[in-house]
């Protein structure tokens, strides 16, 4: 589910809450958020056979810019919320963007940065001050 949590009151369609750890949502996530079939989401999507990136259409679900016609459709959470509210008539739409989970690489980079800052402080302290 792409670390995507959603709270969709499907029967009443009154609220959609999106929590995403990355900025773009694949079509499967949009399908679950909107509680619509995959075919419906493709029908809602602003796509064209001969135009790779058609202009914005307020009546459609507009995907992010693609570089290749075979690239998967990806949607920004704000666009999904706009579409849910303006086109589907879902009254309350809340978007929560969660911070990505810290990876081992990120922890290692933070440790290296801390060590480099410590070395810099030691070097600055050991150098004689000018003017003394």
- Which residues, 6 or more positions from 86, have their beta carbon under 8 angstroms from its beta carbon? 58
Confidence category of residue 131, pLDDT binned at 50, 70, 90: low
What is the model's pLDDT at position 8?
Answer: 39
**Pick from 98, 74, 81: nearest CA to 15:** 81
Mean pLDDT lowest among 22-31, 57-66, 69-78, 108-117: 22-31
- Quick one: tokens of 118? 């410590």
Confidence category of residue 29, pLDDT binned at 50, 70, 90: confident
Count of helices and strands (H, E) across the chain: 4, 5
Residue with the two structure tokens 């800052």: 117
* Residues 73, 53 contacting (CB under 8 angstroms): no
Burial of 77 (0-12, 13-18, 19+ CB in 10 A): buried
> pLDDT tens across 85-113, in order?
999 998 877 766 666 677 888 899 999 99
Annotated domain spans of the chain: 5-97
């Amino acid at each position: 589910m792409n670390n995507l949590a959603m709270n969709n009151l499907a029967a009443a369609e009154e609220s959609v809450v999106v929590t995403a750890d990355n900025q773009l949502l694949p079509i499967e996530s949009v399908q679950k958020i909107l509680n619509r079939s995959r075919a419906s989401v493709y029908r809602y999507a602003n796509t064209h056979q001969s135009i790779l990136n058609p202009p914005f259409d307020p009546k459609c679900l507009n995907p992010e810019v693609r570089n290749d016609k075979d690239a998967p459709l990806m949607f920004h959470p704000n666009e999904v919320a706009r579409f849910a509210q303006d086109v589907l008539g879902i009254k309350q739409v809340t978007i929560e963007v969660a911070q990505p989970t810290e990876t081992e690489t990120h922890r290692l980079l933070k440790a290296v940065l801390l060590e480099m800052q410590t070395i810099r402080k030691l070097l600055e302290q050991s150098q004689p001050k000018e003017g003394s």
